[in-house]
Structure 1
Amino acid sequence: MERSEPSRKRLFIGLLCGTGLAVCAVLAFVWAVPSIGLANIHPLAPWVLGLVCAAAIVLVLWATLGLAASVALGRPFLGSDHLRGVMVRVFLPLMTIFARLFHISKSRVRASFIKVNNEIVAARAGRYDAGQVLVLLPHCLQSSRCARRLTYDINNCKRCGECPVDGLLSLSEAYGVHIAIATGGTIARRIVVQKRPKLIVAVACERDLTSGIQDTYPIPVYGVLNDRPNGPCLDTQVALPHLEAALRFFLAGAEEKPPLFEAFPGLPRFAPAGGSR
């Protein structure tokens, strides 16, 4: 059974706080153990190391509490709007290690991270012109029975309707956004360098979305999880109304266009966008 959105947030906050406290404990241990012998080097050496460790502990606690409160409240707290990079580059790998102690799977950690990342991106991002947005797709959305090569040019699709690519091209035409298919991280990074987007809306599984968010930082990435009725990496699907709702939220003037796909119950509710382009 798929876990609810609030449970994902609670898991993320719990792992974040636990990881932050564990890092503080390690720093305190680093301070305490050698301080016995440091006095033999210089009388002030234990105090210098103590001040360094204390400053590091304060920074870790600030980052931990700021991010946890921001996630819980849905708005910046204690300067947390500047801490997304810390969450992406530092806390996520440590949280994954910390979660192993409690036998929490990587997929659950990644799903909670994607949920929180999406909320932060939606709360911080502004409105973008269509040319500033890139929709990045995995190759497994293409039918496994299709012989056409779409990796370098998605417009090679013959639009037979047997896979989601036809609907994705319709979204690209309706909203004017760049759309591309990547077979892996290297090609995805190359596409990002070529298009130089201000915002990426990415469709993928938990693992690929997480690594993509890390690889493309500081570019904001809004993640849409694909559906895998046939297992991973084979004839996957994507909820087109979900993807369209994200585009309509981030794109300037999109609300003036009629939606292509009918919304369904449980569609994510977006907060009003803030900030500038």
Structure 2
Amino acid sequence: MTDTQGTTTPPRKRLFISLMGFTCLIVVGLTFLAWWVPNRGLANIHPQLPHIVGIVVAALSGVAILGTGLLVLTTALGKDIFFTRFMRLVVIKFLLPMIELVGRGLGLDKDSIRQSFIAMNNSLVISQRQKVKPDRILVLLPHCIQLFDCEIKVTGDIKKCVQCGRCDIKGLVGIGKKYHVDISVATGGTLARKVIVEKRPKLVLAVACERDLTSGIKDCYPLPVIGILNDRPFGPCFNTTVDINKIDEALSQVILQEEPASKTA
């Protein structure tokens, strides 16, 4: 959610989970209705046909309810229970559009739903407990994270930063040195996709607004993406900031720490 100064508060996964449960009930209800309405007509075709269709409807409803329950448990426990990667596919490709439609019908703010989706996605990615080597992780930043009037543009090479400390680039350079990860700055979605194709990471940590993160997570699947929302004290796409600690915390959970070389022969 965004306040009047443009800063973002921590996203709440429970909004997406609540909408997901509500959407599940709608799907189950529509499925049941699709069976019940032609029920008498099916009996005319064959006496057992209504029972067969009823079993199929019950099975589909059970799968929907079970899938929703597994997503809730995975998010709550932070553990990869069953089929987390497949569940990410279901959430990203199918549930998100339906949930956005339901949320719009309920008059909910679109960015609030997206924030909750991003938090849900992050939980699913981290719950897989996948450890990735530093050279296979890409940290992707928007160009607006750098001061608008800075004469040294770091797009393409963040190491050009002169470390003046006026924006968050200095702290991000420090993160890159600490974890030995590749950090790139992209001016838009097209360039971001180009960078991902060229560098071929196994995991992406992206900083952006709700809209760009949501579309990026969808476009990159099955590549796991952890999204970190930026803060926008001066409005969108202008002198934005990011909480360096959130990036540090996220990387610490997914990076594969190399064992120190033995000092003995």
In structure 2, C-alpha distance between the alignment counterparts of 1:147 and 1:36, rounded to whole Å? 75
For 2:254 and 2:108, how far apart are their aligned partners in 1?
A: 33
Which residue of structure 1 aligns with residue 88 of structure 2?
A: 84
Per the alignment, residue 263 of structure 2 pairs with none
Q: Compute the displacement of 1:148 (Å).
A: 4.5
1:134-192 deviation line (CA, Å, top 9, x unaligned): 00111111211135444334344444433222332232233221111122222212211
Of the candidates 16, 41, 44, which is equivalent to residue 12 of structure 1?
16
- Residue 126 of structure 2, aligned match among 122, 135, 141: 122
Does the 8 A contact of 2:78 with 2:126 survive in 1? no
Name the counterpart of 2:59.
55
Q: Are the equivalent residues in 1 in contact too, given 2:24–2:68 (CA < 8 A)?
A: yes
Aligned partner (choices 112, 134, 137) of residue 138 of structure 2: 134
1:188 aligned residue (188, 192, 213): 192
CA distance in 2, matches of 1:114, 1:171: 22
Matched, 1:226 2:212: no
Q: Which residue of 2 aligns with 1:273?
A: none
When residues 40 and 238 of structure 1 are mapped into structure 2, their CA distance, relative to the original with a 3 A threshold, is same
- Range that drifts further, 246-255 or 181-190: 246-255
- Distance in 2, matches of 1:102 and 1:146, equals 43
Q: In the TM superposition, what are the counterparts of 1:105-120 in structure 2 within 5 Å?
A: 105-120=109-124
CA distance in 2, matches of 1:218, 1:239: 26
Structure 2 spans left out of the alignment, 5+ residues:
261-265
Residues 79 and 127, structure 2, Cα contact 8 Å, conserved in 1? yes
Q: TM-score, normalised by structure 2?
A: 0.83
1:43 Cα deviation (Å)?
Answer: 5.9
CA contact (8 A) 1:17 1:68 kept: no
Structure 2 CA distance for partners of 1:254 and 1:139, relative to 1, 3 Å: farther
Alpha-carbon shift at residue 49 of structure 1 (Å): 4.3
Shift of 1:46: 4.7
Which residue, out of 168, 174, 177, partners 2:172?
A: 168
Is 1:99 aligned to residue 111 of structure 2?
no
Query: Under a length normalisation based on structure 1, what TM-score does the superposition of the two structures give?
Result: 0.80
AA aligned opposite 1:31: W
**Aligned-partner SS, 1:234:** coil
Structure 2 partner of 1:152: 156
Moved more, 150-159 or 95-104: 150-159
Percent identity between the two aligned chains = 43
Equivalenced residues, count? 254
Deviation at 1:101, TM superposition (A): 2.7
Q: 1:118, 1:221 within 8 Å by CA — same for their partners in 2?
A: yes
Structure with the bigger RCO (C-alpha within 8 Å, sep 6+) is 2
Question: Once the two structures are superposed, what CA deviation does each residue of 1:173-232 show, in whole Å capped at 9, x if it has no partner?
Answer: 332211111222222122111111111111111221122111111222122111111011
Conserved 8 A contact 1:16-1:68 = no
Does structure 1 conserve the Cα–Cα contact (< 8 Å) formed by 2:203 and 2:223? yes
Is the contact made by 2:84 and 2:124 (CA closer than 8 Å) also made in structure 1?
A: no
Whether the 8 Å CA contact 1:137–1:180 is kept in 2: the answer is yes
CA distance in 2, matches of 1:61, 1:118: 22
In structure 2, the CA distance between the partners of 1:39 and 1:67, relative to structure 1 (3 Å rule), is same
User: C-alpha deviations, 1:48-101, integer Å up to 9, x for none?
Assistant: 544443332222112112112322333344655641221122112111111123
Change (3 A) 1:111 1:162: same
What code does the residue aligned with 2:252 have? Answer: R
C-alpha RMSD over aligned residues: 2.7
CA gap of 1:130–1:44, structure 2 versus 1, over 3 A, is: same
**Hey, which bits of structure 1, 4+ residues long, moved more than 6 A?**
none
Letter in 1 for 2:76: A
- What aligned pairs does 1:199-218 form with structure 2 within 5 A after superposition? 199-218=203-222
Rounded to whole Å, the distance in 2 between the matches of 1:102 and 1:255 is: 51
- Flag structure 1 segments of 5+ consecutive residues without an equivalent: 257-277
Cα deviation, 1:223-251, whole Å, max 9, x if unaligned, reads 21111110111100111222123223322
Cα pair 1:175 1:254 within 8 Å, conserved = no
